[in-house]
Every structure is written in structure tokens, then in C-alpha cells.
Chain A
Amino acid sequence: MSGKEYRTITDVKGPLVFLNKTEPVAFGEIVQLRMSDGSMKNGQVLDTSNEIVVVQVFEGTAGINLSTGVKFMGDVFKLPVSEGLIGRILDGAGRPRDGGPEIVADQKDDIIGAAINPFSRQSPHDFIQTGVSAIDCCTTLVRGQKLPIFSASGLPHNDIALQIARQASLKGSDEEFIVVFCAMGITAEEYNYFRTDLERTGALENAVLFVNLADDPAVERIITPRLALTAAEYLAFERDYHVLVIYTDMTNYCDALRQIGAAREEVPGRRGYPGYMYTDLAMLYERAGIVKGKKGSITQFPILTMPGDDITHPIPDLSGYITEGQIVISRELHQQGIYPPINVLPSLSRLMGSCIGEETTREDHKSVSDQMYAAYAQGRELRGLVAIVGEDALNERDKQLLDFSAVFEDKFLRQGRDEDRTIEETLDLCWNLLSAIDLKYLVRLDQKWIEKYHPDNRE
């Protein structure tokens, strides 16, 4: 089947090529296109019939003409996988980018991946300490979770992702994470920043990088995360590794999706994105988790930039509907010079409840976290009121809460890019900061924990 080369292209439109008079071609089949100068492009079948075949070309259709040769490879897209992936840098289509040899494959895996049987999943419950107080205390990350960073252009989401990649550890265990890093349409500068940092800390030896940069073909971005997740699944479920997948920037991925939809003249959903974008994103995000009988796990940390800082934009919106919470980066905090500028109020970790407490983090965690959140939320709200009526109009309680909100940002949120706080340090810090507020206003703290942890009651 893969021998024959067709020269029957009838139409070229955007990233799509239409051709006819082929033998039966499979849906999803991989395609090779040979340009007149002998260079090759790759594609995949999007629609196939006795009359017409539609091929999506990953490298863009520049240079393709009606006499371009098209060869069908007889199989769907597969990634050669083995432990040899670890330490390697590949391009957005899975070819070595580091000058190294081809990957010696143990097996070849279909990159679309199969859905994990919901009955075969295991509920995630292992606490991952990121060393970042805002995350560990308020939006706790759990091994096997998918927790995206909702950011926007110009904000330090990359630093946060790198810090997490460096520091993430399982409390009381020296098990290391393998980082699978997937770049989609980021700039060369951003990429170098990632790579240099991973090199500097030696993490690169324990990482696999799939890299599609801003000047690489946009359509290739459709497959890059699938390659990364296929590698992750192999390492987690065949080789027992705990894998942390970081992908950035999902917004570029979604834009590539929109481009293909437009070329196919599909009826668009909201803001021009395809109606099936929810399903498409779910096919990526749902490849996180833990399954019965396998030692490894996949934790996902997708990064997306919200166009116009708008959380209701389809990209963050549909992501939020699929992931298990979100970490929201705030421009306002960033402008105040606070790193990491995490706004804990709209942030959420839905799996937090399953991983905090006496046996995993500390017995007072929930109580402290609720109180920190509530006090900060009230303090922030008072800022608006103060702007109208002035600080003097506040009663004692409100004054304390208002002051607390500033301290919260300055002492609790703010930390160094290399500062790795243990969960005990984070929680002790919370108690110290909360102690500036009269106990009678701290209604969410359990009496038991006040007696044990409040600075007034400790030596």
C-alpha cells in the first residue's frame, strides 16, 4: 500500500491538500508529500472517500503544487518509544533536534492514545510539594492531577512552571519526576530560557523535550502534545516513572486547531474556534492520571495565556471545564512586583481535599488554608470600600483584615525563584501572618489547632 506515489492533487487550501483517484486510504493515515525540489513534508488524512481524500499538512502547504507527489504510508501516526527518550530533545514532529541519533524504539505507539477506562483509574491522592507557598497551601497539587496555569502574555508563568519542575517532590520520598516538556509555538528566546534552566539544574538528563517554536509550522502543533503525551504514557505506564508533563502554550495549540477548522470551512463555535474543541482538549488533558496496577503516574501542568486576560475566552473556559482546577496568574500582582503573582482567589485545586491532612501534609492544613483564603478575600474586598469611604471609616476587624491582605501578598505569596519552602514552613508562615489578626476574627481556625500552632501558644 505504501509504495505508490500519487500526483492527483486537485486543490490546496490553507494547511489542507485535496486529492482524488487514490486507492482506498485509511482515516488518520500518515502521508508523505515530495516537493519538486525533493524535500519532504508530512501530513495526515482528515477525510477519506472513494472520491476525494483530504490531507492536513503539518509543515504548511508552501511549495505544494498540483504535481507534488503524495504517498500514503499505510498506518496512523506512531511514535517510537523507549527509555532512550529520556534526556533527548525532539522537534514538534518527533524527530531529533539535538543532533543525536534516531530513537531506538522498544515499541511504536499510536499518538492519539486510547481513553483510560474510568473503571480502571485510581483516585489521585499523593501530595506533591512544589515549594511554592501559594500552591502548596491553597491549591495543592496532587500526583496524577491536571492543573493548568491560566496566565497572560508578559507574565512570569514560565518561571513558575520551571520552579515547580525543579522543586516538585513527593513528601518524604526521593522519587524523582521525569519532566516531559512540550513547547508549542513559543519563541526561541522562551525555549532557550527553559532549556538553559533545565541544563543548569541538571534536570535535562531526566527530561524529554518536544519543541515546536513560533517559526515552526503551526499545524505541526496539533501533533506535538500528542507525541509528548504518548512518550509520557509509555514512561509512566510501561516504565513506572512519575511523569510531569508541562506544555506551553495551549493557546497556540488552539489557534492551530482553529486554522484547520477554518480551512475545512467548518461551522465555527465560539470566537471562531471549532465546535469540537472541548473534545479535542479533553483528549489531551484526560491523558493524566493513575491507573490500577501501574506504578507510574502522569501529572499535567498545561500553561495557557488568556487572550485579553479574559478568563471567559474559549481557551481558558473549555480548559477549566476539563481540568481539575486552575492556577490563575494576576497581572495586578505582577505589576506590584510580587513573584509568584498567583491570585489564589480564582485559583482552585479540586483534588486538594483528597491529599491534605494529618497523614499527608499536616493536620491543620485545611483549617489554615480556609482561614488564609477567607481573610485575604475579605481584605481584598475592603480595598474597594476604602477607596470610597477612606480607611478611617473601617472598624477594628476590617482594619486588621485590610492590613492582612497586604502582608499576605508581601510575605506569603512573595518568594524567591529558588526558594523551596517545605509544607511545614509554609503552614508555620501562615500562622505567623494570621497572628496579626485578633483570634476572635479568625472563625475558621479550629480551637485545637490554635492551641497547638498559634505563635502565642508556642515557645
Chain B
Amino acid sequence: MSDEGTIFRVSGPVVTAIGMEAGMYDVVRVGNEGLMGEVIELHGDKAVIQVYEDTSGIRPGEPVRNTRETLSVALGPGLLTQIYDGIQRPLPTLEEVMGVFITRGVDADAFDLERKWTFEATVAVGDEVGSGQVIGTVQETETIVHKIMVPPGKGGIIKSIESGDFNVTHTVCTLEDGTEMQMMQKWPVRTPRPYQQKYAPDTPLVTGMRILDFLFPLAKGGTAGIPGPFGSGKTVTQQSLAKYSDAQIVVYIGCGERGNEMTEVLDEFPHLIDPNTGKPLMNRTVMIANTSNMPVAAREASVYTGITIAEYFRDMGYDVALMADSTSRWAEAMREISSRLEEMPGEEGYPAYLSSRIAEFYERAGRVQTLDGDDGSITVIGAVSPPGGDISEPVSQGTLRIVKVFWGLDAGLARQRHFPAINWLNSYSLYPQSLNQWFRDNIAQDFPEIRTEISGLLQVESELQEIVQLVGSDALPIDQQLTLEVARMIREYFLQQNGFHEVDAFCSIEQQYAMVKAILTFQESAKNAIAAGAQLDDVVNVPARSNLIRARFEKGYIDVIGEMVEKMVEEIAATVEEN
């Protein structure tokens, strides 16, 4: 047996080769055109390969060559601002080579190998460096310093190191044992990159979306799932997170979704300013786009490509956020391949290993102490697209078993144009316990209590609504009618947030807190006024309240909110005298 074999069978993206020596996950070149594939099963002398490109026209008897490498990504300066397909080929390069349609059989380097980067050594000859330790830096984009690290598993005494302008394959450092290091390293995508230890998350990923930060917060290093039927807002939510969350690096994976959505991100991000740094968002972003019509095997690989890139930036000590839209399409790619392999299917035709693959993927999230001793994190947010919107299906269930935050999108809310259409009654976050201290220290001492109060009001509203459905709201006692008004204010003023509004799309936690306080102040003064004989209608309709509500679309709202609340309190008090 040798590295060369021949094709025995072609069935869609799955090709079987015979007469080739192979190991699991070896990358192979298939057919006369040398299409890229990966060994995913071995049977005697047969190797089953998933091919990352279209296999039409390929026939038995054509050659297959084992490259003896495992599927890997290239890591180094040049990743940021780039857009890749599922196997890390830059889409701009593919366009240059093939034109606007993606044909096949073309290789493309993950980044420009000729481009020179300014490497600044941070260690010196004679220093001892260990696995994962930073040996130098490159200013990759305006906002991000790329740290060059000793590849995991290597280490020793530095024999030579040079600062200066080099391309990524130039050896910038050698160790006494002869190990040569370049700015670029490779890592197999299916193997998690090592770290020293995992910590419990204790800081929120601030997203600027009120319902998320305030009611169902996500921790840096945490995991969240967003299931929802089509058109409910998964993509808009993920894109908002990519735009406004306070991660330092964003990896955005468009996995089996629409081409136009990626175009939108590409058009928009270079012009959008990161509210945290004041610089274009593109500077911190890596995109992976393997749209629904691109090969499914590459779609399967895309989430691994993405998470490996995320781990690499985590290892530099950054807080990375990774969005995968949609993990259901990834699972479907697994199902498609598995069915070609004639594997024994589990539920709904998905392979039996579906839930363990999902779990392994989310396990690569977390807040860690890096090999270099730094603190880094990966937060993973996965969209889930359940058939018919019914989350009893395997992908939703497999996800919910592992993620700690569930943002449940609701078709009914979307239809009412209540956005974000996240259902506040069934969504949850398991992080508040670990984040409460942060909220107390950084926002307000009573933050957790206020949160409980608001969720409580929404809960009571849903119970009252059931009665209203039967008898109409006028039949309720006045205090309950007021509760309904307060809850409506929570929904319409606080929870609703237009993801496309230039001011309202992002709301700081300070402002979130101020808005919630305004609602509670309204409740308080309305209660008092009504007790003193005011009419509910008059109280609700004081002009200062609608001014307060409308002003959230104006810039600088947080500076005027206190004043506006005072005015509202005055006007509400005045409704007593009118009677």
C-alpha cells in the first residue's frame, strides 16, 4: 500500500478509495482534478472520504492521493478582516481565480504569503520559552495586536530571534534544539487547542441588547443557543451580537445559510464603528461563509475551522465571541454524510453521535488560563433552526442540554413585530448567580433584585392576560390594570429594540438600568396617585411619560432620562388634583 490509491465509488460528496494507506482524518486529493477531501471512515483496504467540492464527473479508477496531513487551519497575522469558506480558502482569492462562481479544484492560501508584517520580538536570545508562550507581536489591525506564540507542544532556549518586516512563512525565531518558528502555525481543526485550566465565568458579555443583558445575561466564556423558526430573528440577533458585543475578537460563521446575508455583513461591517473601540468593526472580525448551496462537507468543517481560529485568539489572551448561524445546518451536513455512509441512524435520521458532536463543539467555549498564563475566553452563540419551529427535535434538544443560556425566539412575537422576538417567559440564563457580583459592583448594588422584580411583573402579566382574554381588561381591579400598564411599558419601552435603529440598536447596561428604574418609578408614583383618587387613564396618559418613552431613540438619552422621569412624576402627581 502506498499514498496513492484509486477511486472505487462516488456517491455525492462521499468517495471511497481503495489501495491507499490512510488514517482517520487524513486530508486526501481526489480524482484527476485533485479535489480536497478528508478520510472519515476506514473499512479494510477501503477509505471513505468526504469531499469538500462538487464531485460531478468524477469516476471510479481516478487517482486518490493521501497528503498525510490532517485537516488544519493556518493561524497567523492576516486572519482578521478576512472572509473564508468552510475550509479556510479566502473568498476574495477564489473570486480572483475563478470569477464570481465557485468552481472546483482550486487551492488558495489562507492568507497572503508575500505580505510583510512588522514582527517585534518580546523575548531575547537565551530566554527559555514554553509551549504557547508569546515570543513577539504584530500590529495586525488598528485595534488588534496579534501575538505570535510558540506552537503548543514546542519549547526550549532561544537561539536566535529577529524583529523586523517579514512574511508569515519567514523563520523569525529558532530554538537551541533546532525548532524553527514562523509567524504562521497550523493546527488540526478537530483537536481543541490546549490551555492550562478552565475558570468559572464571572463577567458578562455585554451585548447592548436589553432583553439579553438585563434578563438573560451571557457570560464571557459562556454558551448560548438561539432556537427559532424561520424569520424570527436568529440572524438579526447574531449580527447584532457581532456588531455590538464587547468581545475583542468576533468569529462569525455563516453555516449553510443565505449568500445575501454574508454580503450584507461584508458591506456593512467595514463602515460600522465598534462602540467599544471607536474603530471599524471589521478590524476585530473573521468571517466564515459556507452558504447553503456550497458543498455540505465543507459546511460540516466550517464550524471547526471557526472554533479553531477562535481558540487561537483566545490563546493570545483575548475575549473572543463566536457566532454560528446556523448549527442546525451543520447537523444536517453530518446527517447527509452519515446517510451516505449508510450508518445506523438515530432520531430523525441524524447520526447517533449527533449530541456528542454538539457537546464537544460547545465544550470548546470557556474562560481559560492560557498556556502563557493570560486570561482568555471564547463565548459561543449558536443559532438553531428547528423544523416547524418545534424544539423537541434532536438538534435543539442536544443544544439545550449543553448550553447555559437559552434565548427562545417566538414566531408569535415576530408576527406582532415585537423585536427582538425573544420569549421572556421561557428563555433562561444560568449565569446570573456567577454574574451578580459583577452587576452589583459595576452597575448598581440592587441590580439583581431589580431584575427579579421585572421578571416577576412579566410573569404576573401573563397570568392576568389569561383572565383578560375571558372578561376584558375593564373587569380587572384597578391595581391589576396598573400592573398591566407597567408590564406593557416593560415590553414596549424596554424589551423591544429595533436591531436596525442607529441609536436604539445598542443600549449600555447603565442605560438599561436607568430605563428599568424609570419604569419602576412610574409604577410607584402611579400607585400613589391612584390611591389618592387619580384616574388610571390620566396617569397613563401624562405627556411626560410618552416623551420619556419616545426619547430613547435620541442620542444622549442616558443624560436626560433622570430629568424626564422627574417631570413624569410631577405630572402624575398633578393628576390627583385634577379630580
- A-side interface residues toward B, CB under 8 Å? 24-29, 46-51, 75-76, 110, 112-124, 144, 237, 266-270, 275-276, 278-279, 282-283, 286-287, 289, 291-294, 312-314, 317-318, 320-322, 324-326, 345-346, 348, 350-351, 353, 370, 373-374, 377, 385, 388-389, 393
Contact = CB atoms under 8 A, between A and B. Distances in A.
B270 interface: no
Contacts of B55: 27-28
B578 interface: no
Interface-central residue, B58, B260, B291, B293, by most chain A CB under 10 Å? B260
A267 B387 contact: no
Most B CB within 10 A of own CB, among A283, A294, A321: A321
> Interface size for chain B: under 10, 10 to 19, 20 to 34, or 35 or more residues?
35 or more
B465 interface: no
B260 A114 contact: no
A112 B259 contact: no
A317 B9 contact: no
Interface in B1-44: 8-12, 16
Main secondary structure of the interface of A (DSSP, over half): mixed
A61 to B, nearest CB: 20
Interface string B427-467: 00000000000000000000000000000000000000000
A169 B293 CA distance: 29
**Which residue, B11, B92, B471, has most C-beta atoms of chain A within 10 A?**
B11
Contact of A385 (B254, B260, B345, B472): B472
Given A118-B263, A324-B260, A27 B59 contact: yes
A121 B390 CA distance: 33
Contacts, number: 196
A121 B259 contact: yes
A117 B500 contact: no
Nearest to B261: A118
Given A116-B101, A377-B415, 16 more contacts: A26-B56, A28-B57, A46-B11, A48-B11, A117-B94, A117-B100, A118-B262, A120-B101, A270-B348, A278-B329, A314-B388, A317-B388, A320-B229, A320-B230, A321-B230, A321-B385
B415 A279 contact: no
A377 B8 CA distance: 60
B259 A118 contact: yes
A266 B58 CA distance: 22
A312 B230 CA distance: 10
Interface in B292-340: 292-294, 296, 329, 332, 335-336, 339
B56 A110 contact: yes
B56 A28 contact: yes
Contacts of A118: 83, 91, 254, 259, 262-263, 266, 289, 291
Interface in B54-69: 54-62
Nearest to B268: A123
Contacts of B98: 117
Given A275-B339, A286-B293, A117 B260 contact: no
A372 to B, nearest CB: 12
23 contacts: A26-B10, A28-B56, A47-B9, A50-B61, A76-B57, A112-B56, A113-B101, A118-B263, A119-B91, A119-B262, A119-B289, A123-B260, A123-B264, A123-B267, A270-B387, A275-B332, A276-B296, A278-B292, A279-B332, A282-B291, A291-B100, A385-B472, A388-B470
B60 A25 contact: yes
B60 A389 contact: no
